[in-house]
Each structure stands twice: as structure tokens, then as C-alpha cells.
Chains A and B, each alone.
Chain A
Amino acid sequence: MIEQLKAVSMTVSQEDINAYAKLTDDFNPLHVDPAFAAATPMGNTIAHGTLSLNLIWQALARTFDSSLLNRLDLDVRFLKPLYAGGTITAGGQRNPDDPDQYDVWIKDQQGTSLISGHIRLSHTK
């Protein structure tokens, strides 16, 4: 029984956000246009929420057998924005009430949850 996912961290630059915009075709100016973003309540550009999810996929891949990612259910809420230049860490903890489910998160350097939710793996070991 694995209780915790291996943590994965990344510092996300504006160049990373621009590259992810290219990957997803998501050129929302909140992500890629500092002047636009500065005029919004966000105040600065923010990363795509699904960019950060990739660290959760990496945490899973580095914790379990590779085949486990072939079938899964994810449910996450994007709670707070990740600003360009921020450092995040993905992690996860087995849910004590449901052995196939892990609570997963993305936290910033202050430990604030930016993304939170759970993931269910079909064949957790």
C-alpha cells in the first residue's frame, strides 16, 4: 500500500506558460498578455490550470507502475491562480476511507493549495 505520491515540483516561467499555450491552443490573454492581465483582478498573467495538472500525472507515474495511468478518474478544482514565476509542488495522499482514491493537490511555496481534488486509480497497488 502506497500512502503518499512522490512529490514533483516546477518553477513556471512566462516562457513555460507561452509554451503550454502553444500545446493547448489556449492563448487566453490572462495567460499570455501581461498588459491585459494587469488590467484584470488577477493583476498579472497566470498559468493554465491544466499545465499544473501535468505534475500530478508525473507524481503518479513516478509512484506507480506505468499502466496505472491508462485508466483513472480525476476531479479537481482550480482554487487559486499560479502566477508566472511561481513554484509549485504536486502531491497526494491515500484516502483512508477509500483505498483506491488519493487526495491530490498542487501547492505553492507557502503551502497554499492552488488545485485540490481526488483521483481514483483502477488498479492501485
Chain B
Amino acid sequence: MTDVLTYDSFTPGTELGHWEESVDAGLIATWESLFGDNEQDRPARQTGLCVALMMRAFLNVVAPRPPGNIHARQIMTIESLPQPGDTVHSRIRCIDKEIRRDRRYLELEVTGHDASQRPLYIGKMSLIWAK
């Protein structure tokens, strides 16, 4: 069994891994079950799925995690939206870590591009790590 990734496991400037996943019918159906399937909301759906793919990349690569981490801040640049059927390639790295007021803050960056290397998104997450 792999050890849980604690705060001490992370080194700023290092790549943590990469993840590849398609914008498939299952993800689209789950999003629409939550937020509806109005035609007008299609761009919102694709943006929401872009964020979901960023989270999936982070959560599948940075594992196992201690329970109880908190997402404190999100910076997101959308450069182009992935479309249904597109495969998104995401890369995750640790860009900073700091202890403030007895809380363990991690800064992780997830970048995504499509199969033709077209940039899709850059997400920067501030997380309060539980252990």
C-alpha cells in the first residue's frame, strides 16, 4: 500500500505526474443531471467540465491523500474549451508550500492541453493540507 501524501511529501518546483481523460458522455450526463441541459448553458457546461477534468487530474495523480484537505483558493485561466469527445492531457506540479497560522498550504498547478497540443487551461489551487 502506498503511503499517504503528507505535506512533507511535496517539493516546490517538482512535477507530480500527468493524467489523460476524455470529455465523455458519462461526464456530460452527470453535469447535466446537476445543472440542467439548457442550450444556453452549453458553454457553462464545457467550462464546468474543464474544471472537473482539472480536479480529476489532481485527485487521480496526487493520491493517496489524507482525509480532510480544504480547497482555499482557485485561479483558473481558460485558453480554449475542450469539446465533447476531446481528450485532455493534464500535468500537475507543486509550485509552492508554506505554513501560515499553523496551517499547511500547498500551491499546485494543473495545466491541460488537447491531443493537438492546443492549450486549454491553467489551474492553480491553494489547498490546506490536513497532515
Residues of chain A touching chain B, judged by Cβ–Cβ distance below 8 Å, are: 10, 16, 19-20, 22-26, 28-30, 36, 40, 48-51, 53-55, 57-58, 60-62, 66-78
Contact = CB atoms under 8 A, between A and B. Distances in A.
Interface residues of B, number: 37
In the A-B complex, the 10 residue pairs with the closest CB atoms? A57-B44, A61-B44, A69-B43, A24-B55, A66-B43, A58-B44, A74-B76, A57-B47, A54-B48, A23-B30
21 contacts: A10-B35, A22-B30, A24-B59, A25-B60, A28-B65, A28-B67, A29-B67, A30-B70, A49-B71, A50-B51, A54-B31, A54-B51, A57-B45, A57-B47, A60-B47, A61-B47, A62-B44, A66-B42, A69-B78, A73-B76, A77-B72
Given A25-B56, A50-B55, A69 B71 contact: no
B115 interface: no
